[in-house]
Structures are given as C-alpha cells and as structure tokens.
Amino acid sequence: MKQTYSRYSLLVALAVMCLGLIGLVPRPATAQTGTVKVVVLDVPGGGSEMLANGIKALDNVKIERQDWFLKQIQGRGFQAKGIMKRPDDIKWLMKGAEIDYILYLTAKSDTAYEGRVVGPETGSHVHTFPIDRTPNGLSAAGARMVQREFEDFLAKKAQESMQAQQQQQQTAQVAQLDEEPSDDPNAVKKQAAQSKAAAKEKFSKDWLLVGVKGNGLRRDLHVAGFNEAVLSYTSAFYPGFSLELEAFPLGKSNPDMASVGFYGEYTHGFDSAQVPDDQGGQSAAPITHIDVEGGVLYQLGDALALKDSNEAKLNLGIGVRYNSFAVAENPALPSVSHTSLVLSSRVTRPAFSDKFMIRAGAKIMPFGVYGTGATLFGETSHTYGFGGDIGGLFQATEDIAFAFGYKFGLQRTVFTGTGEADFVDANAFELVQGFTGGLFYQY
C-alpha cells in the first residue's frame, strides 16, 4: 500500500499548484499612489550610472535597473531577446511588475542616441527625443539633458491627468444636475426605465460560457484487500468528448444576483479491455466512461466591474459529481460508479498577451458513496478525493476561444467487511487523467 500512496503523491502537489494560481492576480500600477516607478535600462557604450542617478534624483520617482528588469522577464516566462519590440509582452509585464515607464537609449549612430519612454497602456513608445553620443557613450551633459527631458515629460503627463480629472468632475456634476428628481411623473418613469434598461444591458454581457472538447483519457484502478486480494487495471489512452457550461442568468433580471450562477460538465469516454472469455481466450469488453457534474457558482468581486475588465475572475462552486465505468459482463473487470459532493474553485486570468488566458481549477470531494460494485469489495464503504485542471484559452474572435489543457481526478474508497469478490477491508484508488482540446463560446 505504501507504493500506492507514493504513486499518487505527485498529484497532491499538482492540486496545490492549481489552487495556488488563485492568488496570481495582477495589482494596479504604483502611479496611482503618487510615486512613479521607472525602469532605467543600461546605456549602449557607457554612462548607465550617470543616467540612473539623474533619474533617481527626480521628485516622486523610484527607479529599477536592468538586472531587476531581466528577473521580471524571466520570472514570467518571457524571452528577453527582442522584448522591446513585442508591445503585448511589455504591456503585460509592466502591469504585473507595477512599472509605470521604461526609459532607455538606443544607438542610432556613432554620434547620436534616441531616447525612448515606453508607457503601460500600449507597451510601446509614448515619447522619443534625440541625445548626443560621445566616444565614451553618454556624457554628463547628455545625462542632464535626458533628466530634464524626462522631468518635462512627467510634468506634462501630470498636467494632462489633472485636466482629465477636472473634466470628469465637470461631466459628473452636469450628469448629477440632469438626474435631479423631476416633478413630472412621466419624466420620473422614463428615467427609471432608462436606468433599468442600462443595467439589464450591462448584465446581459458575458453571462454564458459553453465549451466543447475532445479528450484523450486514461484510467488506473487499484483495489487491495487486507487478505492480499488484488485487482489492478491500467488502460491505454482512449478517446472521448466533454461539454462544459457556466451561466450567470440571474443578473439579467436582478443585478443583485449577478454573482450567482450555475455550472455543468459532461464527459463521455469510449474504452475497451481484454478479458477472459468462455472459450478460454481473450476478447475485448467495451467500457463506457460517463462523468457528470453540476452545481452552483459564486463569482468573487464586483460582477459588474469584472465584465468590463481584464482582471482575474475567481469562481467558487459547490455541486454533485457522478462517475461511472460500465463494462460489458465479464469475470475479470467489474463495473463501478460513485457519487460525490464537490467543492471547487476556478480562476481565469490574462497571461502573456490580451488574447491569451490561463484557466485553472481545483476540486475537493470530501465525501461520497460507492454505487455499482460496492458489494464486491466490502459490506460498507466511503469515498473521497481531489482533482484539478490547468490549461489555456486563446481568443480567436470576440466570442470564440480555442482551449487546451490537462485534468485529473483521484478517488480513494475505503471498504469495511468482506465483499462478494472475497476482498477483506479493501482500499481502492482510482485515477482518471487526460488531455483536452476544443472550443469555448462566450455569450
């Protein structure tokens, strides 16, 4: 039995990793706190220290150097070579590392640099300017010019931000005046109807997710009794398909219920096993694998705000799962099924670019009951387990995404007493794992 435990110990680590992804939520940039975080890259030809010291001396500016920047790139799995030419990667990197601007000089000739400032909104240049280059690289005078140029740039940005805030305040004041209660009953009814229609339109976005996938699945079943009776079966990978559904329809009629939804998943696999036949030989026994799960979802955070953002979305769920392996009648491999309570979590978040999302989930089955096959291995039983999945979504269009991933589920069942197949106080381990690929449709 110790070998059986060690066989599945790595899966425990994988489940913990799936749960850990829940915490990987990017935070807002530090510019909102008043301090500007700037990465200053090394200067080709020399003068890096002078440039860094000059920028560091500016008010409300915190700098990071090139070695720190390279660690951020490597930590997110990007290739450092040519990254400044990949705006999507830079944009995601700046968001995740809380970088407000990247300042660097690129050599245009032996006598000229071009200074470049990269912003987080687009991941590309928002400001460029010429700087003289000497045989020793950047001179002290050149470093002061870069300092003044960047200081003027920050001042201009601050002024633009202040003007935008004033404009927003003025717009809000005008809107407030427009929304003052009217004595006209018809106007009040019209305003209420408009507000209701606006809310309904908002909550009608992205409320349904439907997925269709093809699967390559594999099953391991190991049952061992205290009297050394053993049943062990390992399949090859076999084909199947799955259907997934996540829906939040309640928010369409009641915005207060927009975070409450429903989910369902159906998996169907087609397997076969070589078993002894009546003539003393071997024959193929077809196996039908069915896995059905459904329940209630709750989305953490502001459901309305999340519909218009690229922030991570975290769903918690509670449901019921039914798993069945129906084998054609034979003397060697029994049919089994079990039903379990499921507690789950799922996170979806952007990664690497605006078109790619990481999708990962973790499940715990704290309690379950054996159905078909229960009396073969014992008189009474209880079952429990855990599982997880991790994969990606690539946004092909506004509504359709390609999906791929890996999933697994491990179930342990403890039997007591003597079963019909002469197993005494048996323990059963059942592992189902596989690779998936298909399409998701977002409505």
How long is the chain?
Answer: 443
End-of-domain residue from the set 108, 131, 164: 164
Helices 66-75 and 87-96, axial angle in degrees (round to 10)? 100
Tell me the residue range of the domain where 410 lies: 2-26+207-442
Residue 204: is its pLDDT beyond 60?
no
> Whole-angstrom Cα distance, residue 165 to residue 159?
10
User: Which pLDDT score, from 0 to 100, does residue 207 have?
Assistant: 79
pLDDT tens-place string over residues 16-62: 444 343 333 333 333 344 789 999 999 999 999 999 999 999 988 99
pLDDT tens-place string over residues 159-177: 888 887 777 777 666 555 5
pLDDT greater at residue 13 or residue 231: 231
Question: Are 155 and 212 found together in one domain?
Answer: no
Tell me the residue type at 383. Answer: T
The residue-averaged pLDDT of 71-99 equals 86
What integer best gives the mean pLDDT of the chain?
83
Let me know if residue 223 belongs to a domain. yes
pLDDT tens-place string over residues 207-266: 788 999 999 999 999 999 999 899 998 999 999 999 999 988 887 777 778 789 999 999
Provide the greatest CA pair distance for the chain: 96
CA neighbours closer than 13 Å in the CB half-sphere of residue 312: 21
User: Which pLDDT score, from 0 to 100, does residue 132 have?
Assistant: 92
pLDDT greater at residue 2 or residue 240: 240
User: Which pLDDT score, from 0 to 100, does residue 221 have?
Assistant: 92
pLDDT tens-place string over residues 305-323: 555 556 788 899 999 999 9
Give the percent of the chain with pLDDT over 90: 48
Tell me the residue type at 23. Answer: G
Which of 351, 358, 359, 381 minimizes the C-alpha distance to 369? Answer: 381
Question: Are 141 and 244 found together in one domain?
Answer: no
- Please name the residues in contact with 248: beta carbons below 8 A apart, sequence gap of 6 or more: 207, 208, 258, 259, 260, 261, 262, 297, 299, 303
User: Which pLDDT score, from 0 to 100, does residue 179 have?
Assistant: 53
User: Which pLDDT score, from 0 to 100, does residue 213 have?
Assistant: 95
User: Which pLDDT score, from 0 to 100, does residue 14 have?
Assistant: 45
Question: Whole-angstrom distance between the N-terminal and C-terminal Cα of the chain?
Answer: 48
Q: Is 146 within 8 Å of 128 (Cβ atoms)?
A: no
User: Which pLDDT score, from 0 to 100, does residue 249 have?
Assistant: 85
DSSP structure string for 248-272: -THHHH-GGGTTEEEEEEEEEEEEE
Q: Is 395 within 8 Å of 406 (Cβ atoms)?
A: no
H/E element, 279: none
pLDDT greater at residue 332 or residue 188: 332
Let me know if residue 186 belongs to a domain. no
Question: Are 217 and 346 found together in one domain?
Answer: yes
Q: How many domains does the chain have?
A: 2
Confidence of residue 392 (pLDDT cuts 50, 70, 90): very high
H/E element, 242: strand 238-247
Question: Are 415 and 266 found together in one domain?
Answer: yes
pLDDT tens-place string over residues 396-415: 887 899 999 999 999 999 99
Question: Are 267 and 287 found together in one domain?
Answer: yes
CATH number for the domain including 292? 2.40.128.100
Question: Are 7 and 52 found together in one domain?
Answer: no
Question: Are 43 and 7 found together in one domain?
Answer: no
pLDDT greater at residue 308 or residue 110: 110
Let me know if residue 387 belongs to a domain. yes
The residue-averaged pLDDT of 191-200 equals 58
Question: Are 233 and 258 found together in one domain?
Answer: yes
Question: Are 86 and 135 found together in one domain?
Answer: yes
- Please name the residues in contact with 195: beta carbons below 8 A apart, sequence gap of 6 or more: none
CA neighbours closer than 13 Å in the CB half-sphere of residue 15: 19
Provide the whole-model pTM: 0.57
Question: Are 122 and 269 found together in one domain?
Answer: no
Let me know if residue 62 belongs to a domain. yes
Sign of CA dihedral 163, 167, 168, 169: positive
Let me know if residue 195 belongs to a domain. no
Which of 394, 393, 361, 357 minimizes the C-alpha distance to 22? Answer: 361
Let me know if residue 176 belongs to a domain. no
User: Which pLDDT score, from 0 to 100, does residue 197 have?
Assistant: 58
End-of-domain residue from the set 164, 197, 226: 164
Question: Are 21 and 38 found together in one domain?
Answer: no
Let me know if residue 179 belongs to a domain. no
CATH number for the domain including 89? 3.40.50
End-of-domain residue from the set 164, 189, 215: 164
User: Which pLDDT score, from 0 to 100, does residue 9 have?
Assistant: 47
pLDDT greater at residue 274 or residue 354: 274
CA neighbours closer than 13 Å in the CB half-sphere of residue 275: 21
Let me know if residue 364 belongs to a domain. yes
User: Which pLDDT score, from 0 to 100, does residue 200 have?
Assistant: 55
Question: Are 410 and 335 found together in one domain?
Answer: yes
Q: DSSP letter at 396? A: S
> Whole-angstrom Cα distance, residue 299 to residue 183?
40
- From residue 363, how far is each of 287, 292, 437 by CA, in Å? 25, 14, 20
User: Which pLDDT score, from 0 to 100, does residue 199 have?
Assistant: 53
